[in-house]
Structure 1
């Protein structure tokens, strides 16, 4: 696991209550950063995780808010920035599959208007809302944004048509924001393959076995693997912007 000296750096992680987000909160805090852990207002895991990490002597505070809600996304960014005293890094990690199980691409009827709205408002418009709100603070510190995309946005099979489309849009948004915020703010993304999280724990074993058969490193990713790539893009990679870094164990 790589490390970095993040003392004096302020980081906001959206969707930080579990999975990749919580791994990122933990890693960035253990590197000395002051971290705002964003969580949904009704998700008790966020405050519990923040309290647990704070008890370890880490600088972590919980900030409630839903990136899918106009106004609420901007408010959580403002609250986090004020609480931290500035902002150096925004990790746009909040996302949803809107389904506990993968939905076959042939099942077009499952892609209802409501399903599309849930996916896009969280996975694509949410990161834009947060980036726009955070831009002045990030410009002031020549900071960085790291978006959580997916190999599903790069042509691999995702959990649904809508999910794959949202992540493809996020890859494009990453490039567009890199242009918009240059040269003051670097904007990159990570594209995980299948990650071992509470969401994927309930997936069909056949689907996991199929992925493992094509993965050179012969295991699913751990949330910590993705967090490490985020740390590289946020704290290093000084000459990278507009890029999407695939982290899938060689499956692609």
Structure 2
């Protein structure tokens, strides 16, 4: 798929996370110029940008709960890159809370999860819409989760937030057509550095419960993003699973 995105510009929010960083690498490897959006980890984003193939990559603050900052980033992209073809909404947050422990799921955590995962997806898309529309074939990829379908995940607010993201994908696909396509990429449990640090017995159990017998890899999520941008050109309003068949178990 090398150079299939030559001349394209992509913004990835949450670009320094385990999945976000691999999406950045794949997009750059396909020839795109990438804007690495981050919240606080600008140094890490700059280091990653320096490692990428190609030229013109940019690390920039992209706090998805700050709409004026997103507007400023859109103007910076317009001024420095002249266009935006792809937006990947990868920024997200959560914290492990047992589903039955409603008291531990405090209001502040609920508000944070919904603000980042749901409002942030809307806000970033809203800010970048004029640039995406200008190309005539813009693409928004929302990174969702199997939790949207199974209601099993780090906590019940997180599951609800990802269900909302998938619903947003359908609504936005209808609202922004035909100049912008919108899809969700919905991973199962992905073997990021964060997941590697969890209890090994629990991770192994999750792999055994997955029909394909293992956890997902960040690169497989990134491949789905690239596919949406390069070969699934007549696809919009879809949720693309990258979950090893886990809902079948």
State the TM bucket, normalised to the shorter chain: over 0.9
- TM-score, normalised to structure 1's length? 0.92
Equivalent runs, 1:59-74 vs 2, <5 Å? 59-74=56-71
Give the aligned partner of residue 26 of structure 1. 25
The answer to whether the aligner puts 1:204 opposite 2:203 as a matched pair is no
Structure-2 change in CA distance of 1:67 and 1:83 (3 Å): same
Q: Which runs of 5+ in 2 are unaligned?
A: none
* 1:41, distance to aligned residue in structure 2 (A): 3.3
SS of match in other structure, 1:16: coil
* 1:3, distance to aligned residue in structure 2 (A): 4.8
- TM-score, normalised to structure 2's length? 0.93
Paired with 1:234 and 1:42, the residues of 2 have a C-alpha distance of 26
Paired with 1:27 and 1:59, the residues of 2 have a C-alpha distance of 16
* 1:194, distance to aligned residue in structure 2 (A): 0.4
Paired with 2:105 and 2:42, the residues of 1 have a C-alpha distance of 26
Equivalent pair of 1:89/1:145 in contact (CA under 8 Å) = yes
* 1:218, distance to aligned residue in structure 2 (A): 1.9
Give the aligned partner of residue 41 of structure 1. 40
Give the aligned partner of residue 107 of structure 2. 113
Q: Which runs of 5+ in 1 are unaligned?
A: none
Deviations 1:62-106 (A, max 9, x none): 111211223223323332343221011000111111x2xx32101
Report how many residues are paired.
Answer: 246
SS of match in other structure, 1:186: strand
SS of match in other structure, 2:246: coil
Determine which of 83, 87, 108 is the counterpart of 2:84.
87
Runs of 4+ in 1 over 3 A off after TM superposition: 56-59
Determine which of 213, 220, 234 is the counterpart of 2:215.
220
Deviations 1:167-197 (A, max 9, x none): 0000000001001101111100100000111
SS of match in other structure, 2:179: coil
Structure-2 change in CA distance of 1:13 and 1:81 (3 Å): farther
Paired with 1:69 and 1:16, the residues of 2 have a C-alpha distance of 17
Give the aligned partner of residue 174 of structure 1. 169
Equivalent pair of 2:67/2:127 in contact (CA under 8 Å) = no
Deviations 1:21-69 (A, max 9, x none): 111111111111111011123442111111222xx44442111121122
Equivalent pair of 2:31/2:54 in contact (CA under 8 Å) = no
Paired with 1:4 and 1:127, the residues of 2 have a C-alpha distance of 28
Paired with 1:82 and 1:67, the residues of 2 have a C-alpha distance of 20
Equivalent pair of 1:77/1:130 in contact (CA under 8 Å) = no
Give the aligned partner of residue 9 of structure 1. 8
